[in-house]
Structure 1
Amino acid sequence: MGNTGEDIFDRIMSLPGLGIMKPWYSKHKEVLLYLFFGGLVVFLNLALFVLFTKRFGWGALFANVVAWVICVLFQFITNRTWVFDATTDSAKGFFAQLAGFFSGRLLTLGVEELMLFVFIEQMQWNDMLVKLIAQIVVIVSNYVISKFFVFKQK
């Protein structure tokens, strides 16, 4: 970030033709960035899930956990840096955020794993459809946890 406090997304919105949308963008920036990065994570998670289950032949539950670890690391960096702008001035604050973030994500991982177990493993539903629905549940839950518990503004 430069002296103006603008990030790359603010600069993009200042490009010719996009300036007309800047007031709306500024008002909804947090949610828009969360959805943008959340969308990237959904695609990354689904791609990893397909890679691990279809290419490597891993079981759905194990593949989901490995994809989850990779995606949570990506999410922590993007959420902390761009979505919630939640920098801290101490190592203790950083590790408190990290612990809270991973704890919240572990909770939603449990919800997702339960959904996959019930609907894929037990009921034999379409694995990609169940995975996509589970991702929607997880994204909404993760936003609430991150906004109100992990990166809450003082």
Structure 2
Amino acid sequence: MKNRIMKLFQHEVVLYLIAGVATTIVYFAVRMGLFFLISDVVTVTLIANSLAILFAFWVNDRFVFKQVTKGWPLRLVKFTSARLATLFLDVALAWLLVDSFPQLIGQFVNNNIQMVNAVAALIGQVLIMVSNYFLSKFFVFKDKK
């Protein structure tokens, strides 16, 4: 049984999900923390995404896709390019669901803007995590150790 569990935790998709959860925690911590200090949701989203992208690259490069050390700068550029595409999706969702139409989510959370922001961020992160896996798998990380 222990061997099966250990084998499960060596599977790329499981490792990606763990890395994704860790990246999402970093993203949420930064986004929620900064939103108390800066009320501009687009700025907060950009900062949170930038830090999450750097963290995600390190985790995916080293632990998920187990890349050789050589060539990491090019992988970082490719990874960042792919993440910028999904960043656009995140910023668009933040603008749409928090700034423009907060009542869409607000009706379910007593129009609490903090909760609207949290739910919008969660929706965005689920869509982004799936997109990023396929971009990483087929576009960025190809050089196994």
TM-score by length of 2: 0.83
Alpha-carbon contact 2:68-2:143 (below 8 Å) kept? no
Q: Which residue of 1 aligns with 2:137?
A: 147
Over the matched positions of the two proteins, sequence identity in percent amounts to 29
**Of the candidates 117, 137, 141, which is equivalent to residue 127 of structure 1?**
117
List structure 1 runs of 4+ shifted beyond 2 angstroms.
Answer: 17-26
Structure 1 partner of 2:14: 32
1:9-66: CA deviation from partner (whole Å, max 9, x where unpaired): xxxxxxxx6324234444xx11111111110111111111110002x13311101111
1:21 aligns with 2:5: yes
What are the residue-to-residue correspondences of 1:35-46 with 2, within 5 Å?
35-46=17-28
Between Structure 1 and Structure 2, whose CA radius of gyration is higher? 1
**Matching of residues 55-94 of structure 1 within 5 Å:** 56-89=37-70, 93-94=71-72
Aligned residue pair count: 132
1:116 matched to 2:116? The reply is: no
C-alpha distance 67-19 of structure 1, shift in aligned 2 (>3 A): same
CA distance in 2, matches of 1:53, 1:22: 39
Hey, what's the Cα distance between the residues in 1 that align with 2:8 and 2:72? 31
Shift of 1:76: 0.7
Indicate conservation of the 8 Å contact 2:9/2:15, yes or no. no
1:95 maps to what in 2? 73
Distance 1:88 1:71 in 2: 21
CA distance in 1, matches of 2:21, 2:126: 10
Kindly report the root-mean-square deviation, in angstroms, between the aligned alpha carbons of the 2 structures. 1.7
Question: Is contact 2:15–2:63 with CA below 8 Å preserved after alignment?
Answer: yes
Counterpart code for 1:123: F
Any unmatched runs of 5+ in structure 2?
Answer: 106-115
Secondary structure in structure 1 of the residue aligned to 2:67: coil
